[in-house]
């Protein structure tokens, strides 16, 4: 009875609050002033006398908007649209609905008889937490891509592998007009969208869709780049097709076709080549080892230690390297060492089926085969009186293919209710064939052992995820309710085989043979839900109460069989290298957040309580049960302060946890490389992290000078680190497994004392006297990483700083150049052996020139030089790569192009990487493309302002 009375009282309070104030509706239509065409998705806001936004809406496909439940008073109506001047109109709201009729908005582009001119366009501006750059302020070549464009923006860097960094952080999403484009792959969007359709580039931290609705950041935001297209480029057809052939049977072909009809957009891309060109990035990783291993964790830890903030790129090889056949390194889509052949095709579809149904979908397929010959030399620095060497030669042939399907459906049930559905599916297959020879030496001429290793594997896997989000907005402004339900499933199946012959020279020469097959199916599923409710306290204050529950189940069943010569089959079960494991992970999280927003301040703070339960069951070879319970208090804070229209400060603090994966807990030894064994640790505990970030941005009053400063601090307790045992003599491990002298066993352990501090600074300014722009980037990182080496605690302290100067042309479309010089300075200090600390510098200088100098004849020069100082093999790492192309624009509108390209004109291209870790220094040389010549023909399609003709029937309901 008391519960019923309480419900009645709460319902009555809600009803009274909704009915107290009389409100009206305001509607109108936003149109282009020149041709009265509708402006779709224009932003419409009502600001009060203090210029604070009280109500907002977006226009539909007919340019219509309707703002409901507006209280009486005087407001400023403001309509903003990319490429158009802002419209401001003072309105008075009384007791009747308002129909403002047609609102004509003028373009910000000044038209002349022959061309469109945007003279002295400002480089950009800052709005709230979003940095906006004007594409019209940057001149690029006529056939430039959006990637070429963003390279010229202050604080943005695009690495050779397609990785994009902005404001010191890696860009994880690239949207086009706020919509997904081929899923979340940044490279696909930037390399397939021509620069001449771009109007503005927005950079911001995108929150989850539920967080965007509530206005409270849940800590899952990602650095995002939103490409806004020009309004006059949103209807028509555009794209490019290219084909080339060269000596040594080198070939390249690509297709990029876009069909835009305002809201309806279809994009098709295709790629085929055998010159290691990939038009995609690291999007899909299915871990074929079921969640990681100690060995893989070691390399990932090293990578995170040496990788700096935006602007700092370590020398090749300071990146993640997989030296055994374990982990996702053998199963991922992305740039790989060696020479690759790639075939890829994709289609992206966006549409508004009705005013209330928005659809986004994409399909992407790629096949990659890779051949690599790697020579690796490693020098161990185990102790002050011990120095040993490990050499490895590997011939590998890997084949990967994947299918990726992404969809997003948004249903607006009415003005206050909406549903979003996001299913995603990835299918992958991997085939690996590696031959490896390795030897271990106590000194240069004192061999300890050697081995020949043949490894083969075939795996297939899938990942499926789906999100269902319901959002409800109450009539009271600031009161919302939302609920999301997420499901996921993954499955991986396949087999691997290994044949190894080893020779041990001490104390006397003896031989050992390993001949095994393994099957290691893994799978799992997940179910999670999140409920959020926001309640306004006052006009400027708001509360968020949320509850999250998450359940994940994962399993692994590894069976390893030895070869039985009697039966000529693999039927002898090796119980030491087999086990069956199940993990069940259940978390509950309750959270309360408070937000204050007024004028220049937007402040949010919150506190969460999280309880996590991890149950691990081992059914084979022994029955073991492990139960873990983790209770954590997780505070968070965010502050946004706007000093002026041009100066903005963001401070963000959050805490998080990281639980060990199934493979990190699984105590089965991975012997795929007999000299580099790894196993899990059932006693691992949860890792707890503190992260503090600050970002300051400033534009000059004329928006031509840009200043950006980013800094972050990360501190971890119970860090999941590595304990590495390097055998000084033949050793017997648990279960009778022999670790030969010089071999390694890596086990994940919990250690304390891990932290990192990073900072990134950029300053961009024009050089009017040469019609160019200068960007100055400075970055640095200090990290302290703990580890155990033969039970001795080691702290690896890494100091990395970098300085980069970039000069980009802004002269004309006929002269496009970028000159860049970057120096990276790295110091590594280890506490185990201080006399072998490392100090080296890495420099990269590059020149890019695209010059159309006579009657459509053009010259392309791409020059890159790198060199090291401070390394033992520094001279072998130095090289200059020069690519030269000369060609001619064809046809009346220069839509055709033929060019002859000489790749590696100086015959110096090489791939030599250097790894500096806490207990060894490593040099790796990989197979790479050498000099070749290719003749290429390209045709560019540009047809805007007309009704597009679809090459096939519409994939769904076509709106009027």
Domain parsing of the chain, residue ranges: 2-105, 112-233, 327-340+371-752
pLDDT surpasses 80 at 298: no
Which pLDDT band, with edges at 50, 70 and 90, does 139 fall under?
confident
Residue 59: predicted pLDDT = 86
Encoding tokens for residue 470? 């319901």
pLDDT surpasses 70 at 281: no
User: Is-contact 672 711, C-beta < 8 A?
Assistant: no
Instruction: Pick the range with the lowest mean pLDDT from 180-189, 638-647, 822-831, 943-952.
Output: 943-952
pLDDT, average across residues 325-354: 70
Superfamily of domain covering 112-233: TonB-dependent receptor, plug domain (2.170.130.10)
User: Is-contact 546 528, C-beta < 8 A?
Assistant: no
pLDDT surpasses 70 at 230: yes
Residue 517: predicted pLDDT = 94
pLDDT, average across residues 838-848: 87
Residue 22: predicted pLDDT = 65
Encoding tokens for residue 311? 């602007």
DSSP state of 811: S
Q: What percent of the chain has pLDDT over 90?
A: 36
Encoding tokens for residue 443? 């000194």
Please list, in sequence order, all residues whose beta carbon lies within 8 angstroms of the beta carbon of residue 648, skipping any fewer than 6 positions away. 126, 128, 129, 640, 641, 642, 696, 697, 698
Relative to beta strand 23-32, strand 911-916 is unpaired
Please list, in sequence order, all residues whose beta carbon lies within 8 angstroms of the beta carbon of residue 556, skipping any fewer than 6 positions away. 290, 291, 520, 521, 522, 579, 580, 581, 582, 662, 663, 666
pTM strictly above 0.95: no
Instruction: Pick the range with the lowest mean pLDDT from 95-109, 251-265, 441-455, 946-960.
Output: 946-960
For 170-221, how does the pLDDT look when each residue is reduced to its tens digit (9 = 90+)? 888 888 888 888 877 788 788 888 888 898 898 888 887 877 777 777 667 7
Instruction: Pick the range with the lowest mean pLDDT from 345-359, 469-483, 935-949.
Output: 935-949
Which pLDDT band, with edges at 50, 70 and 90, does 407 fall under?
very high
Q: How far apart are CA 105 and CA 126, in angstroms?
A: 22
Average model confidence (pLDDT) across the chain: 81
- CA-based nearest residue to 710, from 653, 780, 764, 647: 780
Instruction: Pick the range with the lowest mean pLDDT from 436-450, 844-858, 882-896.
Output: 436-450
The CB density around residue 102, as the number of other CB atoms within 10 Å, is: 11
Residue 665: predicted pLDDT = 78
pLDDT surpasses 50 at 377: yes
Q: How far apart are CA 676 and CA 503, in angstroms?
A: 16
Please list, in sequence order, all residues whose beta carbon lies within 8 angstroms of the beta carbon of residue 678, skipping any fewer than 6 positions away. 293, 294, 295, 296, 324, 326, 669, 670, 745, 746, 747
Segments of 599-642 assigned E as strands:
601-620, 624-642
3-state secondary structure of 875: helix
Instruction: Pick the range with the lowest mean pLDDT from 586-595, 606-615, 830-839, 854-863.
Output: 830-839
Higher-confidence residue of 906 and 766: namely 906
pLDDT surpasses 60 at 114: no
pLDDT, average across residues 243-270: 92
DSSP string, 272-312: EESSS--S--S--B--TTSS--HHHHHHHHHHHHH--STT-
User: Is-contact 322 371, C-beta < 8 A?
Assistant: no
Q: How far apart are CA 573 and CA 516, in angstroms?
A: 10
- CA distances 335 to 255, 596, 728, 928, Å, are 20, 45, 37, 12
pLDDT surpasses 50 at 8: no
Write the CATH number of the domain with boundaries 327-340+371-752: 2.40.170
Which pLDDT band, with edges at 50, 70 and 90, does 62 fall under?
confident
Higher-confidence residue of 345 and 293: namely 345
Q: How far apart are CA 526 and CA 487, in angstroms?
A: 6
CA dihedral sign, ordered 726, 731, 732, 738: positive
Residue 165: predicted pLDDT = 82
Which pLDDT band, with edges at 50, 70 and 90, does 872 fall under?
low
Residue 329: predicted pLDDT = 30
pLDDT, average across residues 752-769: 90
Segments of 331-479 assigned E as strands:
339-354, 357-383, 386-412, 417-443, 446-473
Higher-confidence residue of 957 and 25: namely 25
Q: Which CATH architecture has domain 2-105?
A: Sandwich (2.60)
> Residue 147: in which H helix or E strand, if any?
helix 146-150
- CA-based nearest residue to 541, from 487, 494, 596: 596
Residue 573: predicted pLDDT = 92
pLDDT surpasses 50 at 310: no
3-state secondary structure of 14: helix
Higher-confidence residue of 677 and 949: namely 677
Encoding tokens for residue 763? 């300053």
- CA-based nearest residue to 47, from 83, 80, 90: 90
Encoding tokens for residue 46? 């009502």
pLDDT, average across residues 798-811: 90
3-state secondary structure of 663: helix
Q: What's the half-sphere exposure (Cβ side, CA atoms, 13 Å) at 90?
A: 2
- CA-based nearest residue to 339, from 252, 280, 276, 394: 276
Instruction: Pick the range with the lowest mean pLDDT from 108-122, 384-398, 702-716, 793-807.
Output: 108-122
Q: How far apart are CA 613 and CA 937, in angstroms?
A: 60
Burial 635-657 (b: 16+ CB within 10 A, else e): ebebbbebeeebebbbebbbbbe
pLDDT surpasses 90 at 445: no
């Amino acid at each position: 009875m008391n519960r019923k009375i309480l419900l009645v009282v709460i319902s009555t309070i809600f009803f009274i609050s909704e009915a107290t104030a009389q409100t009206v509706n305001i509607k109108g239509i936003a149109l282009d002033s020149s041709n009265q065409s509708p402006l779709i998705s224009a932003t419409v806001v009502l600001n009060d006398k203090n210029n604070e936004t009280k109500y907002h809406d977006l226009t539909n496909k007919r340019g219509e908007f309707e703002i409901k439940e507006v209280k009486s008073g005087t407001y400023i109506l403001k309509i903003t649209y990319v490429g158009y001047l802002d419209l401001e109109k003072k309105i008075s709201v009384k007791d009747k609905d308002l129909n403002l009729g047609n609102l004509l908005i003028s373009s910000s582009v000044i038209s002349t008889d022959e061309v469109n001119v945007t003279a002295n366009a400002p480089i950009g501006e800052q709005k709230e937490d979003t940095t906006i750059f004007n594409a019209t302020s940057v001149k690029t070549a006529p056939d430039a891509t959006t990637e070429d464009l963003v390279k010229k923006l202050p604080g943005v860097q695009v690495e050779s592998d397609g990785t994009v960094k902005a404001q010191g952080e890696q860009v994880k999403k690239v949207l086009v007009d706020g919509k997904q484009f081929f899923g979340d792959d940044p490279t696909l969007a930037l390399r397939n969208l021509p620069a001449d359709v771009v109007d503005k580039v927005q950079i911001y931290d995108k929150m989850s869709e539920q967080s965007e609705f509530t206005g409270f950041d849940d800590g899952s935001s990602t650095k995002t780049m939103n490409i806004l297209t020009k309004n006059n480029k949103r209807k028509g057809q555009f794209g490019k097709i290219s084909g080339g052939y060269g000596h040594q049977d080198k070939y390249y072909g690509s297709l990029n076709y876009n069909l835009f009809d305002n809201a309806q957009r279809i994009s098709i891309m295709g790629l085929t080549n055998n010159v290691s060109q990939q038009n995609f990035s690291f999007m899909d990783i299915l871990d074929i080892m079921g969640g990681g291993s100690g060995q893989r964790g070691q390399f990932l830890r090293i990578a995170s230690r040496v990788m700096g903030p935006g602007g700092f790129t370590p020398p090749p090889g300071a990146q993640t390297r997989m030296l055994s056949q374990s982990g996702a390194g053998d199963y991922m889509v992305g740039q790989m060492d060696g020479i690759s052949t790639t075939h890829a095709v994709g289609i992206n579809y966006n549409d508004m089926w009705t005013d209330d149904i928005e659809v986004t979908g994409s399909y992407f397929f790629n096949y990659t085969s890779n051949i690599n010959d790697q020579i690796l030399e490693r020098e161990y620095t185990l102790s002050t009186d011990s120095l040993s060497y490990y050499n490895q030669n590997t011939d590998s042939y890997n084949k990967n293919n994947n299918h990726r399907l992404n969809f997003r459906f948004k249903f607006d049930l009415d003005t206050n209710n909406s549903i979003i559905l996001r299913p995603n599916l990835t299918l992958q297959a991997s085939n690996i064939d590696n031959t490896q020879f390795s030897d271990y030496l106590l000194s240069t001429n004192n061999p300890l052992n050697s081995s020949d290793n043949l490894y083969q594997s075939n795996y297939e896997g899938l990942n499926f995820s789906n999100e269902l989000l319901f959002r409800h907005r109450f009539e009271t402004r600031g009161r919302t309710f939302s609920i999301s339900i997420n499901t996921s499933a993954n499955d991986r199946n396949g087999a691997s085989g290994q044949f190894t012959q080893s020779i041990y020279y001490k104390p006397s020469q003896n031989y050992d043979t390993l001949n095994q097959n393994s099957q290691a199916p893994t799978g799992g599923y997940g179910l999670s839900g999140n409920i959020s409710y926001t309640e306004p306290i006052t006009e400027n204050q708001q509360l968020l109460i949320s509850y999250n529950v998450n359940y994940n189940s994962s399993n692994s069943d590894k069976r390893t069989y030895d070869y039985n010569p009697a039966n000529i089959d693999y039927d002898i079960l090796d119980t030491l290298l087999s086990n069956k494991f199940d993990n069940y992970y259940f978390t509950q999280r309750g959270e309360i957040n408070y937000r204050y927003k007024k004028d220049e301040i937007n402040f949010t703070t919150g506190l969460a309580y999280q309880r996590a339960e991890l149950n691990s069951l081992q059914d084979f070879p022994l029955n073991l049960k492990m139960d873990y319970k983790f209770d954590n208090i997780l505070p968070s804070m965010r502050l946004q302060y706007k000093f002026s229209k041009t100066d903005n400060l963001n401070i963000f603090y959050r805490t998080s946890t990281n639980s060990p994966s199934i493979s990190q807990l699984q105590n089965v030894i991975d012997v795929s490389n007999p000299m580099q064994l790894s196993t899990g640790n059932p006693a691992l505990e949860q890792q707890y992290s503190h992260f503090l970030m600050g970002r300051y941005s400033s534009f000059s009053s004329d928006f031509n000078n840009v200043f950006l400063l980013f800094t972050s601090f990360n501190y971890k307790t119970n860090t999941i680190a590595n304990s590495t045992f390097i055998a000084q003599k033949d050793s017997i491990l648990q279960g009778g497994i022999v670790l030969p002298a010089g071999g390694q066993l890596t086990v994940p352990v919990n250690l304390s004392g891990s932290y990192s501090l990073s900072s990134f600074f950029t300053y961009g300014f024009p050089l009017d006297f040469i019609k160019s722009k200068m960007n100055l980037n400075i970055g640095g990182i200090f990290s302290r990483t703990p580890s155990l080496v033969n039970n001795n605690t080691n702290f690896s302290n890494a100091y990395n700083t970098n300085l980069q100067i970039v000069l980009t042309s802004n002269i004309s479309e006929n002269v496009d150049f970028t000159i860049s010089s970057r120096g990276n300075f790295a110091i590594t200090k280890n506490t185990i052996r201080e006399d072998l600390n490392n100090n080296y510098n890495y420099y990269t200088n590059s020149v890019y020139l695209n010059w159309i100098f006579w009657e459509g004849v053009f010259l392309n020069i791409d020059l890159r030089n790198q060199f090291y100082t401070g390394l033992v093999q520094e001279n072998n790492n130095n090289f200059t790569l020069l690519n030269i192309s000369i060609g001619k624009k064809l046809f009346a509108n220069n839509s055709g192009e033929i060019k002859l390209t000489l790749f590696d004109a100086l015959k110096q291209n090489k791939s030599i990487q250097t790894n500096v870790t806490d207990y060894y220094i490593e040099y790796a040389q990989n197979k790479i493309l050498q000099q070749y010549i290719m003749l290429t023909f390209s045709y560019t399609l540009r047809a805007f302002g007309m009704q597009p003709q679809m090459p096939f029937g519409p994939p769904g309901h076509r709106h009027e």
